[in-house]
Structure 1
Amino acid sequence: MTGPGDVGEGVRQGWYGVRCVFQYGAEAPYVYEERITVWRAAGFDEAVALAETEAAEYVADIDRAYLGLAQVYHMFDELGHGVEVYSLMRDSDLPADAYLTRFFDTGDERQGTLPAAPDRSSGRVDGS
């Protein structure tokens, strides 16, 4: 896989985020995991190769399989606080609520809810 973020030989390496998808178990219901790992590489091909090598190690000795899906993102900034490490853009005719439900909130995610964000103007956590 090559793309506009690839760099040629002799050019400084960049940071890449690679998202890989895994499946746990051999029978339904399955658990799927998406992992994003960060790699220093000379281009998309090298970043994916590094991530897929790590994915093979990640699935060793456990009932988990790498599904062969690797999506790579070239990071344009050095790693640091608040740096974007992955981005995937998708076109859709769905309105916002339906889009979020379709792709991110099916009800089967293993996730929790964070407490309410603090009201930064008052310093209160509950917003009152």
Structure 2
Amino acid sequence: MDEDADGQWYAVRCVFHNEAGAPVVYEERITIWRAGSLDEAIALAEAEAVEYTDGISFTYSGLAQAFHLFDEPGHGAEVYSLMRDSDLPPDEYLTRFLDTGDERQGAAG
């Protein structure tokens, strides 16, 4: 679908990995797409994922998760949401899934 054509906006998270060293480095990218369906947005994102890895040492893992944007992309718009059920309390949940200590990130402020 042409990005200027009528369609819905979708955010798609694709996961990549680089096994060139130890430990393996994983990257999660979220891209946004205007498409006629969730399946079409995933197909567009997966095609871009293959292009993204061309010439670099990362490989597309084959995992794509999509989210239908409820609002037009813009300041403060929600662009991705993933819900997961867990019996873990909040601190343990964050450590298990989001803040293991191995992330390549800096502190804000």
TM-score, normalising length: structure 2: 0.92
For this pair of structures, how many residues does the alignment match? 104
Aligned positions of 1:14-53 closer than 5 A: 14-53=8-47
Show the counterpart of 1:106: 100
> Please, what is the CA RMSD of the aligned residues?
0.9
Give the superposition deviation at 1:25.
2.9
Structure 2 Cα separation of the partners of residues 86 and 62 of structure 1 = 26
Structure 2 Cα separation of the partners of residues 109 and 27 of structure 1 = 16
The structure showing larger relative contact order (alpha-carbon pairs under 8 Å, at least 6 residues apart) is 2
Structure 2 Cα separation of the partners of residues 70 and 64 of structure 1 = 15
Show the counterpart of 1:64: 58
Identity %: 67
Structure of higher CA gyration radius: 1
Structure 1 Cα separation of the partners of residues 94 and 19 of structure 2 = 27
Structure 1: stretches of 5+ with no match in the other structure: 1-11, 116-128
Structure 2: stretches of 5+ with no match in the other structure: 1-5
Show the counterpart of 1:79: 73
